[in-house]
Structure 1
Amino acid sequence: MAQLMTIARPYAEAVFALAEDANNLAGWSDELANLATISKDPAMIAMIKNPAYTADQIVSVFTDVMGDNLTTEGKSLLNAMAENKRLIALADVAEVFETLKAEAEKRVRATVISARKTTVEQKKKLSAALNAKFDAEVEINYEEDSSLIGGIKIKVGDWAIDGSALSQLNKLGAAIAQ
């Protein structure tokens, strides 16, 4: 996964620069999301990985599925990635692009994982704290994971806090084992 992100980043940065120059971040966001969806289809993954298919054949499938929703620039991206055998990283290109877009719009995405359902009051406090910490509008995705026992985990990009009871018990177990 990390290797695909490394492959995806230069493509995403190039597309982001192009989209920013054209003032078309939303358009590229939609187009990349559609391309990523196509690239994640199991049949498409098999085709991309199969050396029997040429780059042109694979791009033509994307072109046929996208129809009029594929821009000239989008097709150029597909051609470049196909020629370099990088289409498997297309979903990651879309993900990196969305991260760059969010940064440019002063938005941040966060994931909060808790052992139980988060209450409205807890959500308000978390939102206020994260907005202040990152000096941006934080979009929070809430998830539940009962294996945490209690507490929460917060992930924002590379930044993370693990305040779960499971983490604390694991640390205690490691300290006792020494």
Structure 2
Amino acid sequence: MAELMTIARPYAEAVFSLAKEEKSLAAWSESLANLATITADEAMQALLKSPDASDADVMSVYEGVMGANLSDQAKNLLAAMAEHKRLLALPEVSEQFEVLKAEEEKRVLATVISAQEVTVEQKTKLSAALNAKFDAEVEVTYETDPSLIAGIKIKVGDWAIDGSALSQLNKLGAAIAQ
């Protein structure tokens, strides 16, 4: 995953710079999200990993699915990434673009992962606490992961808190093992 982030960063930054200059952040956001969805498809993943697939074959799939919604600049991005065999990084490019877009718009993106579904009251309290912590409007995405047993994890960029029971049990196990 760290490798994909490293590969994706220059592409995301270049696209963001272009989109900002042309005041087309929303259009690029939508385009990258669509390209990321196509790339994440199992059949597309198999095509991208196939040594027999040419860049032209791959490009024709993206063009066929996107149709008129694929701008010339997006085609250029795809061509550059295809030439360097980097198309598998498109979902990460989209994610990093969204982070840059959020920063530009003075928004903060957060992910809350909980062992159980978070209630409306809990969401309200978490949002208020995160808004106060980051002194910004925080957009929170909620996920559930039963393997956490209980508690939550909160991720905002590089900042993270792991208050899950699983984490606490792992720490206890490590302390006992010493």
Shorter-chain TM-score bucket reads over 0.9
**2:17 is equivalent to residue 17 of structure 1:** yes
Return the alpha-carbon distance in structure 1 between the equivalents of residues 177 and 45 of structure 2: 45
Deviations 1:23-70 (Å, cap 9, x if unpaired)? Answer: 010000111111111111122111111222221221122112111000
Higher mean alpha-carbon deviation, 63-72 vs 44-53, is at: 44-53
Residues in 2 aligned to 1:123 and 1:87: alpha-carbon distance in whole angstroms: 36
1:28 is aligned to 28
In structure 2, give the amino acid aligned to 1:12.
Answer: A
**CA RMSD for the aligned pairs?**
1.5
Give the distance between the partners of 1:146 and 1:65, measured in 2 at CA: 36
Stretches of structure 2 that go unaligned for 5 or more consecutive residues are none
Q: How do 1:78-97 and structure 2 match up within 5 A?
A: 78-97=78-97
1:55 equivalenced with 2:26 (yes/no) = no
Q: Which amino acid aligns with 2:111?
A: T
- Unaligned 5+ segments in structure 1 are none
What is the match of residue 144 of structure 2?
144
Q: Structure 1 pair 153/62, CA: closer, same or farther in 2 (3 Å)?
A: same
Task: Quote the offset at 1:168 in angstroms.
Answer: 1.9
Q: Equivalent residue for 2:173?
A: 173
The alignment covers a number of residue pairs equal to: 178
Moved over 6 A (4+): none
* Aligned-residue offset at 1:122: 2.2
Partner in structure 2 of residue 109 of structure 1 = 109
Q: 1:53 to 1:109 in 2, by over 3 A?
A: same
AA at the equivalent of 1:156: V
Measured in 2, the distance between the counterparts of 1:56 and 1:149 equals: 48
